[in-house]
Structure 1
């Protein structure tokens, strides 16, 4: 094959694809490329099994400028640890300064290279191309994903190296650019875990910080390095790490791999040598939660070592729950809904009986008709919105409890201009939006009681139609309506206290469903995942999962369901979805189909 390529002198560089299976190794063949003609799209790698490894080939001898650009783009999609093969296509300053870690640009399809109109010709020993495509997303230097739009256009310049006579790239954009299918094959979303002060129990709570790592290139070590570098810029103001500033893997550490007992040893530099036992356990908990997100059955125990090899602490998954409140521990006892008599009732997915029973207390007694409700995460209190949307009540879920006076009233003229469904955060605070056009507000009631505090919402673009606060208390999901279109946004919750009191603000709102023009319902469905009901422009209603960074989740969403008006999911992903649809209240348990559980009912919710 190499001999044939040498004879042609124009062989198109391609990747070698290695299928790691039961004793089989397959190598991709070589394809020829004409000496002249227009550039073609760089072929994007089709979706492949996780065990497939792709390695690029170096430049062919006497390759033309088109082939050099093509080969370089192909090399960007390979599994080289430090893009060693891609660097072989570079020369001069480009070889010295190109930094693939600056960013990863994701295009709808693999980038297309067009000849720039510069008057440059191959016989002048210089040549230029323009890479182009349609932006989908950008992964920054912290490996954080953000949706992007518009056209991608970047120049690439080539020169003929005097010493060898070979064409090489001497000017190019920083970072990596590749098509969506190659990105989905090469990269994997991982939740890093940090701490917040939002846990109601008083122990630190965790918050997920999703990043993308190259899935075939030493991912365990990548994940650990990313965690040690601290929260991404968006989350950093409301999260903390227990690792001392400057903590990194011990110099010389190579690939980290769990042993056959699912135990991972992590050697750290001297910055961690003097941490206390309790702080070390928090550090180990962060590592354990993060690694178990990447490989749920691969790491059971983490041992941290100091710079001299002395063990600092060890933490197993059975002890981690005592260190921090974590998402997988947030399993709800019941599913809740408003029944046909407008009372708050509950169901248990563990109970074969599908007849809901009223909750203890005034909201289950029918004293006040309700249209929506929220149950605290401890399942000991409930907040209910009256049937006309005007009043909000908060009561304990105990037998004999009285309704009391409403904690909030809306002056909206119509039901749709009044209160949204409320939401409890992990601190025990209650959130609700008042949609009164004359005075639209987002409000929070500390511990569900007292004077409602108006939340600052700078740069809010639209009216709030739905509110869901994450269990961590530092992220909030909002459906915003603007000019008849509804979109899902995620914001950061910031709290500032001074002598005059506490200020709560929602900042840096970002859209996570840019391709949906009408989002009608949503719910948190995991530490960094939501389930969304919406419609694409000109399309029909659909249900899908999305991440808080706006990245899609590979694979199909929940099975189709007709006429979904409301959706509820638990942050414990093992619990079923519950929806209000044309068939009533329906439930989707893992591995099953939708089943009707209540013919008449609305507003299903899990605690939160």
Structure 2
């Protein structure tokens, strides 16, 4: 490859193929570096079986600058835990300053590179600068947090020829790693780590409410150890103000611990440093519960038991998975007894969620007797109470799900001129409080009724740009999903719930929704959504000039790996449980109430029905 061509040529998008050391036990092929010619575009590797490890090749002797750049970019997408092969492409000085763990930049495709030769007066051979360009999809920061980002990406990689070896090496480069989205999907996996809600009240069994904090780690580079380290470092910045960890500040793995894995009894032993030496039994149990919940997604069957050790190797505590369920509650542990919807007589009715029942029955109590005609409802998470919105959307009623109970006056009224400008479907949080939005253009409000009663509390929403069209609160009570409408477009946004419960002044507590961010930016119109797991939602919407579709999204804005729900014509409303084992329930214009169980197709339940919901 001549220097004249190399200095002015355009490097095609670097999209990584398979990079395996030929001595590896599991091979899908061996990649070889080009001897001459321009840098070739290589198709991204499809998502491989989890047991296949992918490794990069070191720089070839007398490799030209274009080859060095390509080899380095390929090495960034390998399963090399410490990026040792990538470091071989750098000068000695660059190896000391480059931090590959500071961030991961994800582009739509691999970085597109253009080379520009820059002649140095003191170096007759010259040096090369390659400008890497692309469109960002997201950035994963040093906390492993995924942050969607559609900005343009530009970075420079500079190469120089070593005086002693005469080999080209990179001496200037951006911090972190960069790769295309398909390589990111192959290399990284989303896992929830768990903390406790700061202001949560204990459950019926004295449980502490947990909050999922999704992060991305490299799937085939000891993800269990990496997740433990991430958990010990604390929650991501966005979630930190509303959660706590039971681990003492400064707790880390004991020095010298490099890998964690289950033993033959499916127990994971976690040696900790001296910061945890003095914790008591109850606190240690809470620490172990956080670990057990975090481990659930890392192995096919989860982990049965966790043992925590002091810095001297003595046992701190042992906790089983069953005991962890007693200490900590989380969304997927709640198993609703029923699915609910509004039937053709505009009553609240229910179906058994445990046996796939198809015969709907009116709920006990006043919301099921037809005395008040309803268009939407929400059932409390304990399934003892329900809230219903009147047919015209102007009034909100709350009643007991007990036979013979009476229904009092409406607890809230909207003054909106049309039915669509009035109350949204309400939502119950894990604390037993009721949320609803008033869409009145003259007075749009997000409201909370403590325990579903009393004077509505207006929720502060700094940063909200638009009108709330729908609201769903997570089971943890610290995150809320909103469909926000502005200028004819609607977006799905997630906000953090901040509660000021200091009652020393005698004033009512204040509630705010802070740091709202879009989690489905590619959708121009979002028409329905529901929580569908500890950190996942199911969304109905369309892209610009696209058709209506249904998909899953993570609360951090990423797209979960796996199939989207099968297509459904004319879907108007969607309901999912945070227990992911339960079916989706939807309202279709053509078929009424329909249900989708795992591995099956949509099944019609009842023709005349709308507004399906699970408790929450």
Tell me by how many angstroms 1:51 deviates.
Answer: 1.8
> Cα–Cα, structure 1 residues 239 and 352, in superposed 2: closer, same or farther, change >3 Å?
closer
2:328, 2:351 → 1: CA distance?
Answer: 29
SS at match of 1:256: coil
2:356, 2:484 → 1: CA distance?
Answer: 38
- Matched residue, 1:47: 47
Q: Confirm or deny that 1:17 pairs with 2:12.
A: no
Q: Confirm or deny that 1:596 pairs with 2:609.
A: no
> Cα–Cα, structure 1 residues 389 and 544, in superposed 2: closer, same or farther, change >3 Å?
same
Tell me by how many angstroms 1:558 deviates.
Answer: 0.6
- 8 A Cα contact 1:338 1:370, kept in partner: yes
2:518, 2:414 → 1: CA distance?
Answer: 28
- Matched residue, 1:240: 244
- Matched residue, 1:384: 388
2:285, 2:345 → 1: CA distance?
Answer: 50
Q: Confirm or deny that 1:453 pairs with 2:460.
A: no
- 8 A Cα contact 1:14 1:57, kept in partner: no
1:78, 1:120 → 2: CA distance?
Answer: 34
- Matched residue, 1:420: 424
Q: TM-score, normalised by structure 1?
A: 0.95
**CA offsets, 1:213-250, max 9 Å, x none?**
00111111111111111100000000100000000000
Q: Confirm or deny that 1:525 pairs with 2:527.
A: no
**Structure 1 gaps, min length 5:** 1-11
Tell me by how many angstroms 1:96 deviates.
Answer: 1.1
1:190, 1:444 → 2: CA distance?
Answer: 31
Q: Confirm or deny that 1:32 pairs with 2:39.
A: no
| Structure 1 residues 76-91: aligned runs within 5 Å | 76-91=76-91
- Matched residue, 1:513: 520
Tell me by how many angstroms 1:81 deviates.
Answer: 1.0
- Matched residue, 1:4: none
1:455, 1:298 → 2: CA distance?
Answer: 39
2:324, 2:182 → 1: CA distance?
Answer: 37
Tell me by how many angstroms 1:517 deviates.
Answer: 0.5
- 8 A Cα contact 1:15 1:75, kept in partner: no
- Matched residue, 1:175: 176
| Structure 1 residues 323-402: aligned runs within 5 Å | 323-351=327-355, 353-402=357-406
> Cα–Cα, structure 1 residues 519 and 120, in superposed 2: closer, same or farther, change >3 Å?
farther
- Matched residue, 2:155: 154
Tell me by how many angstroms 1:50 deviates.
Answer: 1.8
1:595, 1:42 → 2: CA distance?
Answer: 43
SS at match of 1:53: coil
> Cα–Cα, structure 1 residues 462 and 33, in superposed 2: closer, same or farther, change >3 Å?
farther
- Matched residue, 1:465: 469
> Cα–Cα, structure 1 residues 142 and 183, in superposed 2: closer, same or farther, change >3 Å?
same
Tell me by how many angstroms 1:328 deviates.
Answer: 2.5
- 8 A Cα contact 1:136 1:147, kept in partner: yes
2:407, 2:291 → 1: CA distance?
Answer: 45
SS at match of 2:244: coil
Tell me by how many angstroms 1:501 deviates.
Answer: 2.7
- Matched residue, 1:106: 106
1:229, 1:333 → 2: CA distance?
Answer: 38
**CA offsets, 1:339-378, max 9 Å, x none?**
0010000001334541210111100011110000000000
> Cα–Cα, structure 1 residues 49 and 120, in superposed 2: closer, same or farther, change >3 Å?
farther
> Cα–Cα, structure 1 residues 450 and 117, in superposed 2: closer, same or farther, change >3 Å?
farther
**CA offsets, 1:12-38, max 9 Å, x none?**
9985337999x7545414253425x4x
Q: How many residues align?
A: 594
- Matched residue, 1:606: 614
| Structure 1 residues 218-237: aligned runs within 5 Å | 218-237=222-241
**CA offsets, 1:553-589, max 9 Å, x none?**
1222011100000000000000010000021000011
1:443, 1:502 → 2: CA distance?
Answer: 13
Moved more, 381-390 or 320-329: 320-329
**CA offsets, 1:481-532, max 9 Å, x none?**
1111111000000011342331111111110101111110000000000000
> Cα–Cα, structure 1 residues 282 and 442, in superposed 2: closer, same or farther, change >3 Å?
same
CA RMSD of aligned residues (A): 1.9
> Cα–Cα, structure 1 residues 32 and 156, in superposed 2: closer, same or farther, change >3 Å?
closer
- 8 A Cα contact 1:18 1:53, kept in partner: no
| Structure 1 residues 178-327: aligned runs within 5 Å | 178-196=179-197, 197-199=199-201, 201=203, 203-327=207-331
- 8 A Cα contact 2:374 2:389, kept in partner: yes
SS at match of 1:254: coil
- 8 A Cα contact 1:107 1:136, kept in partner: yes
Q: Confirm or deny that 1:562 pairs with 2:569.
A: yes
Q: TM-score, normalised by structure 2?
A: 0.93
- 8 A Cα contact 1:199 1:472, kept in partner: no
**Structure 2 gaps, min length 5:** 1-13
1:462, 1:26 → 2: CA distance?
Answer: 51
SS at match of 2:254: coil
SS at match of 2:214: strand
